[in-house]
Amino acid sequence: MTLYLNDLGLLCAAGNSRPEVIKRLLAGDRSGLIATDAFGPTTIVGQINSELPGIGPRYRIYNCRNNQLLLAALSQIRTTVDRMIEKFGVDRIGVVLGTSTSGVRNTELALAYQAKHGALPEGFHYKQQQMGAGADFLSEYLGVTGPAYTISTACSSSGKAFASARRLINLELCDAVIVGGADSLCRLTINGFAALESLSNGYCKPFGLHRNGINIGEAASLFVLSKEPGPVALLGIGASSDAYHFSAPDPVGTAVIAAMQKALHDAGKRPDEVDYLNLHGTATVLNDAMESKAVNAVFGNQIAASSSKGMTGHTLGAAAALELGFCWLLLTESEHGALIPNINDDEPDTGLAPLHLVQKGESLGRGIQVCQSNSFAFGGNNLSIVVARA
């Protein structure tokens, strides 16, 4: 059964609306990456620069930045969501999200307040940082009563949410699912990746010769998935787990190759039928080396490919949904097949397996029909998704 991505709402360092995001991505604009010391030692992050909607007193136990990001993304698709609720009923609408930190920033701020004043601040609630808080919040806010839960598998979290959401519909437990993810900036992740020596000492350089780590970003991306025909079809999902190492990828990339091949098989597509591949492309030495080898093994060096993280930062648990959103935008709003460039402001690394990394201004010269997107995570949680113009 073919399912469709009927609508998309997203915001990230590249913009706060679909038109702004696609315009800045195609231009190779990385101005959304900024230096800050708000989370510890000065580092470059992908920060959302937007006034976010408030969460009223009725939902005060959910009041955190992560849920504000979700609410901002929801506002962009609210008309479609309301139409689905009216058509199918509140009990047939599910919510499946991915995150890696949820609202832990609220707890960081609350503990800092407690250290200074001797008590937690009024209004703080543990629910604000729970992994499942986002799905619970959206479900409560919309009044839907279908299955609502959150998946947390590090940087593939929101990608795994699509596999789970699709399953809910195929099992006839839901008629439509609000699916996606959100992650917001916090000290926990920035200092954690610093301890792993995985943060870049400047702007990240995906697949660049001098790449040395990631820039962490924040984002929210929400879709409406259903059986109703829509602009983009969800064709294939491939998942694998290599369990090679807690944080390092298997350098051979065997399980990553399997995930991409499974997604293609599920979609009924050959590698040469994919127009564009959004790479996981974290800009770490090991990830990019592995991914270039794996992609070359499946696609050769002909497929147009890029990492968008050079403009958004790595948005962790939200990355898979965000970057699938970029593919949705290419399929629906990219004129003449304009492609997202691989921005790294660096020399090519000729030691990597050869890839066709998209350059600024590059275009297919025709409408983009099929896109694929990769997301990999600590512990070897690998995912690849194929979507197509419907």
Beta-carbon contacts of 133 under 8 Å, excluding residues fewer than 6 positions away, are 62, 64, 66, 67, 102, 103, 127, 150
**Catalytic residue list contains 314:** yes
CA distance 169 to 303: 32
Report the relative pairing of strands 370-375 and 381-389 from DSSP bridges.
antiparallel
Phi, psi of 256 (to 5 degrees): -65, -40
Beta strands, E only, 251-306: 276-278, 304-306
* Marked catalytic residue, from 12, 155, 174, 204: 155
- 266-272 contacts at long range (C-beta below 8 A, 24 or more positions apart): 266/235, 266/236, 266/237, 266/238, 266/386, 267/235, 267/236, 267/370, 267/386, 267/388, 268/235, 268/236, 269/235, 269/236, 269/370, 269/386, 269/388, 271/298, 271/299, 271/300, 271/303, 272/302, 272/303
* Marked catalytic residue, from 64, 186, 204, 314: 314
Cα separations in angstroms, 67 against 32, 61, 75, 176, 188: 21, 11, 12, 21, 18
CA distance 24 to 13: 10
* Marked catalytic residue, from 12, 204, 280, 327: 280
- Which value, to the nearest 10 degrees, does the dihedral of the CA atoms of residues 285, 289, 292, 295 take? -110
CA distance 181 to 107: 20
Sign of CA dihedral 252, 351, 319, 35: positive
**Catalytic residue list contains 155:** yes
Beta-carbon contacts of 214 under 8 Å, excluding residues fewer than 6 positions away, are 193, 198, 199, 200, 204, 282, 283, 284, 309, 313, 314
CA distance 65 to 63: 7
Beta-carbon contacts of 189 under 8 Å, excluding residues fewer than 6 positions away, are 100, 101, 183, 216, 316
Which residues are marked as active site? 155, 280, 314
